Amino acid sequence: MKLNKNINQKNSIFKNWLVILVAILFIILPFIINAYWVDVLFFFGVYALLGLSLNIVLGEVGLFDLGHMGFMAIGAYTTAILNTTFGIPIIVLLPISAIAAGAFAWLVCSPIIHLRGDYLCIVTIGMGEIVRLTLNNNPFGITGGSNGVYGIDFPSLGSIFVIDNSTKFYYYIWLIVGLTIIGLVNLQRSRIGRAWNCIREDEIAAESTGIDVRYYKLLAFVLGAGLAGVGGNIYASKLMIVSPESFSFMESCMLFCIVLIGGMGSIPGVLIGAAAISLFPEVFRAFAQYRMLIFGVAMVIMMIFRPGGIWPRKRGAFEFKPLLMKPGEENG
Amino acid sequence: MKIILEQLLNGLTIGSFYALIALGYSMVYGVMKLINFAHGDLFALGSYLGFTLLVSGSAYATVTFGIWGGMIAAMLIAAIGIGIAGTLIERIAYRPIYPAGRLPAVVSALGASIVIQNGIMVVWGPRPQAYSSQVVPSVMLNIGGIKITLMQIVVLIVSFILMGLLFYIIQKTTFGAAIRACALDRSTAALMGINIETVIFFIFALGPALGGMAGVMVGMYYRKISFVMGWNYGLKAFTATILGGIGNIPGAMLGGLLLGILEMLGSVYISTAYKDVFVFLILILVLIFRPTGLLGEKIAEKV
């Protein structure tokens, strides 16, 4: 038992150093690489944020959601429309788009949350497609049809600090991703996280131990959608334009792949998955038209050799620790 | 009245495409519990194979067998070719992953789908291609005041024959019984002496073969084909599968036909721009009230 604890401690020290190293690397990177790659890393950050948001629904609770881009679209369009017509600052709209996307998720998921597995999957696909098609059809003349909404401001704090170049956007997105990760790690260890994982492993068992399955599933959808809304806000202010084809079914599938390539429910896994999905096409740009072909082959090979993902979440280590330790030892 | 009938016929035609593709999804899902995302792209590949045989270059099939013989030959060759492609994908992309559960197979299927789609783009080029009217006759018939194209009749007849044939195989033959047994419980079916390998081989050959034929017919009916069309048709056909009840063969046929008709009626009476929104709304409504689809049986959960 003592040996066991030592290994745990060594592991956690190693992990802490790894986290610090990665954080330092991310801080100094923009000074080393050129502006093009800073932008690439910005989009890596956006994918990471979206991957983390889908990871709540798919990884933690095990609900198939193939329409996640719909939530991001709600966030992005909320930002775009409110900013261009009413001139509300982007930074104020950050929480508003999160709330809008979350509220939308609550509204559409409430009646369908009882569906299981693949039926839920097709309904989320349908929902995502309805969002995209509706935006494309320019309802009430507010979404600009297939041209989208353009002329979105940069995020700013007053008039002194404006996020207006690649490097600033890079720090902005990774700051948000960092904060999200801290929040999600804590959430994983909380009562809510444990309830989610319990539902993922066995829904009936979870229900019979008194977990309100419906409530926790909806909570996952609302939180995931809210986070995707934040991603939409940042995406809209970076590109200064939002248009429906950015939120296609294909993109939702890519998010699904981010979570599965990294490893279900694993936060470092999501970061690796996002890196794979966003950096791969850039690295292989030299292959031009064969690029996506190689990408598809890589996805298949990847799943053959590591079906559980690159960095799967370790199970048990955390759940059983309190049982192995004497009372009062928990902070040791 | 005439307009309604014409639109119903149009809807039925589109619906029979959806139904043929949906059968492939449903059979694979029934036995493997796997959503074969590459299926839509196999359908598109079938369309391009037919294009090569009928139109581009030497138009081999048309020259050898004449116009009608050429069409039949193109459909048969596409069916065989896509059937082989389907089994190959199963061997390469799905079989090694079965032990790991269902979710990794989804990623692998999406990967295979991207490979096929971009493979088509590399081989046939990114521009849409057209089945020219020299190889596919364009004749408009007028039956009792209802306008119908010759191609429409051909498509309806061929797809109903194919569906009937499949229905017969699944419901009446011993082999069909084996497939149904595998869909119910694969391990028990294996204990009863059913060769699971053969069943898997055939469902991955039969489903895509039907899809490939549908691909050639879509080319003949709409004339324009593009390498991304697999996603659209695949999504619609998958919707149809769920609408009818996934894993259920008559359900897939019903779902496909119903979806085609709904889409047509939606575009006539609501608006063309919102027809897909209408289709997905109907799907969601059906699933809210019948969570296992129209013909899907309610399965008691095992604890």
What is the maximum span of chain B, computed from C-alpha positions, in angstroms? 61
Whole-number Å distance between alpha carbons of A274 and A3: 36
- Please indicate whether, in this complex, the C-beta atoms of B283 and A122 are within 8 angstroms of each other: yes
Q: Is residue A332 part of a domain?
A: no
- B273, A135 in Cβ contact below 8 A? no
Whole-number Å distance between alpha carbons of A240 and A86: 16
- Please indicate whether, in this complex, the C-beta atoms of A119 and B301 are within 8 angstroms of each other: no
Tell me the CA distances in angstroms from B200 to A38, A303, B250, B303, one per residue in order.
48, 20, 20, 27
Q: Is residue A21 part of a domain?
A: no
pLDDT digits (tens, 9 = 90+) for B108-145: 998 999 999 999 999 988 888 888 777 777 777 777 77
What was the pLDDT predicted at A263? Answer: 83
The domains of chain B, with CATH numbers, are 2-289 (1.10.3470)
Torsion sign over Cα B201, B204, B206, B212: negative
Quote the minimal CA–CA distance from B282 to chain A in Å. 10
> How much is the mean pLDDT over chain A?
83
Q: Is residue A181 part of a domain?
A: yes
How far is the first Cα of chain B from the last one, in angstroms, to the nearest whole number?
53
- Please indicate whether, in this complex, the C-beta atoms of B292 and A289 are within 8 angstroms of each other: no
For the segment A69-83, the average pLDDT, to the nearest whole number, is 91
Number of domains in chain A: 1
- Please indicate whether, in this complex, the C-beta atoms of B114 and A296 are within 8 angstroms of each other: yes
Interface test with B, best of A303, A305, A306 (most B CBs within 10 A): A303
Asked whether the predicted pLDDT for residue B299 surpasses 70, the reply is no
Helix (H) or strand (E) holding B171: helix B150-172
The DSSP secondary-structure symbol of B94 reads I
Count residue pairs from A and B with Cβ separation < 8 A: 130
Partner residue opposite A122 with nearest CB, options B112, B242, B281:
B242
Number of alpha helices (DSSP H) and beta strands (DSSP E) in chain B: 11, 4
Whole-number Å distance between alpha carbons of A173 and A14: 26
Whole-number Å distance between alpha carbons of A78 and B222: 38
Helix (H) or strand (E) holding B74: helix B60-89
Tell me the CA distances in angstroms from B115 to A151, B109, B209, one per residue in order.
37, 10, 19
**Domain hosting residue A206, numbered range:** 33-248
Residue type, B276: D
**Structural Rg of chain B based on CA atoms:** 19
Using alpha carbons only, give the angle B286, B287, B292 rounded to the nearest 5 degrees. 115
- Please indicate whether, in this complex, the C-beta atoms of A307 and B101 are within 8 angstroms of each other: yes
Tokens 């039925």, residue located: B12
pTM: 0.85
pLDDT digits (tens, 9 = 90+) for A4-60: 555 556 667 777 888 888 888 888 877 788 878 888 888 899 999 999 999 999 888
Outline where A33-116 has alpha helix (H).
35-54, 68-86, 90-109
pLDDT digits (tens, 9 = 90+) for B24-63: 999 998 888 888 889 999 999 999 998 888 877 666 666 6
Tokens 């595998």, residue located: B182
- Please indicate whether, in this complex, the C-beta atoms of A260 and B107 are within 8 angstroms of each other: yes
Asked whether the predicted pLDDT for residue B244 surpasses 70, the reply is yes
Tell me the CA distances in angstroms from A75 to B229, B260, B278, one per residue in order.
29, 33, 23
- Please indicate whether, in this complex, the C-beta atoms of A126 and B92 are within 8 angstroms of each other: no
Q: What are the structure tokens assigned to A217, written together?
A: 């599933």
- A247, A157 in Cβ contact below 8 A? no
Q: Is residue A213 part of a domain?
A: yes
pLDDT: is A275 or A318 the higher one? A275
* Spacing of C-alpha A152 from chain mean position: 23
Q: Is residue A310 part of a domain?
A: no
Q: What percent of chain A has pLDDT over 70?
A: 91
Quote the minimal CA–CA distance from B276 to chain A in Å. 8
Q: Is residue A157 part of a domain?
A: yes
* Spacing of C-alpha B284 from chain mean position: 21
Which residue from A minimizes the CA distance to B112? A296
Which residue from A minimizes the CA distance to B105? A303
What was the pLDDT predicted at A315? Answer: 62
Q: Is residue A166 part of a domain?
A: yes
Q: Which residues pair with B154 in a beta bridge?
A: none
Q: Is residue A137 part of a domain?
A: yes
Which residue from B minimizes the CA distance to A130? B277
Which residue from B minimizes the CA distance to A127? B280
Range with the largest mean pLDDT of A7-11, A85-89, A163-167, B195-199: B195-199
